[in-house]
Amino acid sequence: MADLHGIVVAALANTVPLALAGLGEALLERSGRVNLGVEGLMAVGAAVGVLAGIHLGNPYPALVIGGLAAALLSLLYVIPVIVLGADQIVAGLALFFAGTALADLAGAATGGAPAPPLVGSPWDPVAASTLALVVASTLLLYRSWLGVEIRAVGESMEHAQARGLRVAQIQGGLAIAAAFLAGVAGAYMALALHNGRWYSGITAGWGWIALGLVILGYWSPPGVLLASLLAGALLSSRTLLAAHGVNEAIADMAPYLAVLASLLVMSLVAGRRARPPSMVWRRE
Partner 1 sequence: MEPLLEARDLWKIYPNGVEANRGVNIALHPGTVYALLGENGAGKTTLVKILSGAEKPTRGEVRLNGAPAPATPRQAHQAGVYMVPQHPTLFPNLTVLEDVGLTLRMAGARLGRAGVRRLIEEASAGYGLAVDPDARVEGLSVGERQRVEVLKGVLVGRKVLFLDEPSTHMSPSEVGSLVALARRLAREGRAVFYITHRIREALDVADKILIMRRGRLEAELDRGEASKERILAAMFGRIPEKPQPVATRPGGEVLRAEDLWVPSPHGGWALRGVSLTVRAGEILGVAGIAGNGQKELVEAIIGLARPRRGRILINGVDVSSLAPRARMRMGLAVVPEERLGWAVAPGLSIWLNTALPLLARNGARLLLRRGRAKGIASRVVELAGVRARSLDQPVETLSGGNIQRLVVGRELEAGPHVVVAMNPAAGLDYSGASMVESMLLKAAARGAGVLLVDEDLELLARVSSRIVVLSRGVLTGEFTPPYDVDAIGRAMTMR
Residue ranges that bind partner 1, judged by CB under 8 A? 145, 148-149, 151-152, 154-156, 159-160, 162-165, 272-273, 275, 277-278
Angle at 120 between CA 72 and CA 61, to 5 degrees: 35
* Cβ–Cβ < 8 Å for 277, 32: yes
Q: Least separation, in Å, of the C-beta of 223 and partner 1?
A: 15
> Which of 5/273 has CB closer to partner 1?
273
User: Is 104 or 155 the residue whose CB approaches partner 1 more closely?
Assistant: 155
- Report the nearest approach of partner 1 to the CB of residue 147 (Å): 9
Residues 6+ apart with CB under 8 A from 127: 12, 13, 15, 16, 121
Nearest distance from residue 138's CB to partner 1, in Å? 16
CB-CB contact of 209 with 231 (8 Å): yes
Min dist. Cβ of residue 21 to partner 1 (A): 24
Minimal CA–CA distance to 105: which of 93, 116, 97? 97
Q: Which is nearer to partner 1, 25 or 149 (CB)?
A: 149
Closest separation between CB of residue 143 and partner 1, Å? 8
Instruction: Give the nearer residue to partner 1 in terms of CB position, either 163 or 282.
Output: 163
Q: Nearer Cβ to partner 1, position 156 or 195?
A: 156
Show the DSSP H helices in the chain as ranges: 2-30, 38-56, 59-73, 75-77, 88-108, 125-143, 145-155, 157-162, 167-188, 206-216, 221-243, 248-269
232 neighbors 15 (Cβ within 8 angstroms): yes
